[in-house]
Amino acid sequence: MVSTPTRTTAARTAGGSAAGGSTRPAPAAAPSPAGRRPVTPAARVRGWYRGFWAALEGTGKSRNGSTYYLILGSTLALTAIGIMMVLSASSVEAIAAGESPYSAALKQGGFAAIGLFAMFVLSRVNVVWMRRIAWPVIALAIALLGLVLLVGRSALGNQNWIDVGPFTFQPSEAAKLALALWMATVLDRKAKLLHEWRHALVPVVLPGAMIVLGLILAGNDLGTAMIVMIIVAAALFFAGVRLYLFGIAGAFLAVGTTILAVTNPNRMCRILSWTGQTCADGSDLNYQSTNGLYGLASGGWFGVGLGQSRQKYSWIPEAHNDFIFAIIGEELGLVGTLVVLVLFAILGAAIYRVVVAQQDVFHRVLAGTIMVWLLGQASVNMAVVTGLAPVIGVPLPFISYGGSALLMSLCAIGVVLSLARAQMAPGMQPKKMLKFGPAAFANSVRSARAGRAATKAATTSTSRGSTGSPAKPAPKKSTPRSSAPKNPAPKTRTKA
C-alpha cells in the first residue's frame, strides 16, 4: 500500500474551486497538536522562575539590585537569629558553670561585628585583586592546619582549635575560603586545558586539596573533611570539568569513607547508633540526635516560647553549637524552623543568580563554590539534627556558636556581594567609601595621570590658534601698541 502525501491548505482550496466552482476561501487551519513541542513541568517552572526574577530585579541596565539586597538581608537575618538563639541555648549551661549567661552571646556578637565589617569591606572592592593573594593565603592556611597538630587544643575527640589569648581560632574554617579562592584562581588560568583529566586534577586535587584534607583528617574531624570534599567538587563542576571524573572520584570517595568509618570505633559506633543498633561497649552516640528529635517534636507549630526550652538543660550537650536547630524547633516551633529554611532558600536562590550571570571562570567558580559550601553545610547540619544522617560535627552557618565559622562565612558573603554589586545598574550601585588592594591603587594612579594629561592637553589646545600654529603671547596680543607698527594706514595717507 502506497501512502499519498497530505495536501496543503492552498492545494485543497484550489482543487475545491476547480471542482465545485466555489470561490469561498477555506478557513485557516488550526496548528496541529503534533507540531507543538510538549511543555514539560520543568520548563514551566523555569519560565515562572525567570519571569519572577525579571519582574523583581529588572533586565539590562535597569537592574535594581534586588539580588544584592536579598543576599544582604537574608544574611543579616540569619546572623541576628543566630545571636538570639545562642543566648537562649547557652545561658543555662553558662549559669551552671558559674559564668555570665551572656558570655557566649557577647562573644558571638563581637565576632559578628568583625565579620560584618569585613563583609562590608569585601563587598565594596573588586575581587579580581584577590587572585594575587591566592597562593600566599592557601600556604598560610596549610601552615595553620599543620600548627594545629602541634600546639592545637583538642575537644570532643577533635583537634581543631588554636588558643589565641582568651579566644580560640579554628584554621579549618579559614581553609575553606582560602581553598575556594585558590581553586578559582588555578582553574581560571587552566580553563582551556580542563578537558584533560590531568590538568583538571593537578594541582587542584593533587596535591592541593589532598594536603588540606589530610591535615584535617589528622585532627580527626571527618565532618569538616566532608564539607571540604563538597567544596572541591563544586569548584571542578563550575569550572566545566568532564562529568565522568565525578563518577570516578565518587567511587574512590565512597571506598575511602567506608575505610575511615570501619577503622575508627567511634565513627562505627555512631553509624550503628544511627541505624538503631547498640555499640560493642553499650554506649549510645546517637544520644544528641535522639534528644534533638524530642525537642523538635515538643515544639509543635509555634514552640514553647523563646528561652523556654527544656532540652537545653543538659539533655542536648553543647546545644548552642551543632544542635542549635533543635532548640529553634523547640522554642519557635515548626514556624521558626520554616523561617530559617526560607532564609537559606532565599540566600541560595540569590547567590545562584549571581553565579549564572558570570562570564569569567574565576568569578563563576568562586561564587558557585561559596554557594555550595554554605548551603551544603546547612543541609548536612539539618539532616543530622532531624536524624536523616549520623551525628557529624558540622555547625549551622551564621547560627551555630563559633566565631571562626561565623567570621569566614560573612567574609564569603562579602565576596558574593561584590559580584552582585557589579551586576547592578551604575546609578543604583552602593557607593565605594574606600579603595583597597593593589589593583585599586594602580587604577587610581592611572586615573590621576590621565587627568593631568587631559588638563595639559586642554591648556595647550586653548593656547593654539585655529590653524594649529602657536599663538602669540597673551600680553603682546592684548596690547594695542604692539600691532601699531604693522598698520599700513599711515603710509596710505602719506601717498595721498
Split at pLDDT 50, 70, 90, the class of 32 is: very low
| pLDDT surpasses 50 at 11 | no
What's the rounded Cα separation, in Å, for the pair 16 and 429? 67
pLDDT at 352: 93
Residue 140: how many other CB atoms lie within 10 Å: 15
DSSP assignment, residue 61? G
Q: pLDDT tens-digit profile of 203-223?
A: 999 888 999 999 998 888 888
User: What percent of the chain is predicted at pLDDT more than 90?
Assistant: 39
If one compares 474 and 330, the residue with the highest pLDDT of the two is 330
Q: According to DSSP H, which parts of 386-436 are helical? A: 403-422
Q: pLDDT tens-digit profile of 443-479?
A: 656 766 777 778 777 777 766 554 444 545 555 444 4
The grid cell for 65 is 539590585
| pLDDT surpasses 60 at 419 | yes
- The crossing angle, in degrees rounded to 10, of helices 361-385 and 403-422 is 140
Mean pLDDT of 147-165: 81
What's the rounded Cα separation, in Å, for the pair 129 and 485? 66
Split at pLDDT 50, 70, 90, the class of 151 is: confident
Of 7-21, 95-109, 406-420, 449-463, the poorest mean pLDDT is in 7-21
Sheet containing 153-155: give its strands across.
Answer: 153-155, 158-164, 167-169
Look at strands 153-155 and 158-164 and give their pairing: antiparallel
| pLDDT surpasses 90 at 412 | yes
Sign of CA dihedral 331, 335, 341, 342: negative
Cis peptide upstream of residue 397 (ω within 30 degrees of 0): no
What's the rounded Cα separation, in Å, for the pair 81 and 399? 7
Q: pLDDT tens-digit profile of 99-126?
A: 888 999 999 999 999 999 999 999 988 8
If one compares 285 and 185, the residue with the highest pLDDT of the two is 185
Mean pLDDT of 57-67: 66
Q: For residue 112, give the nearest of 208, 188, 286, 104 by alpha carbon.
A: 104
Look at strands 158-164 and 167-169 and give their pairing: antiparallel
| pLDDT surpasses 50 at 19 | no
Q: How many whole angstroms from its chain centre is CA 36?
A: 39
Q: How many whole angstroms from its chain centre is CA 307?
A: 32
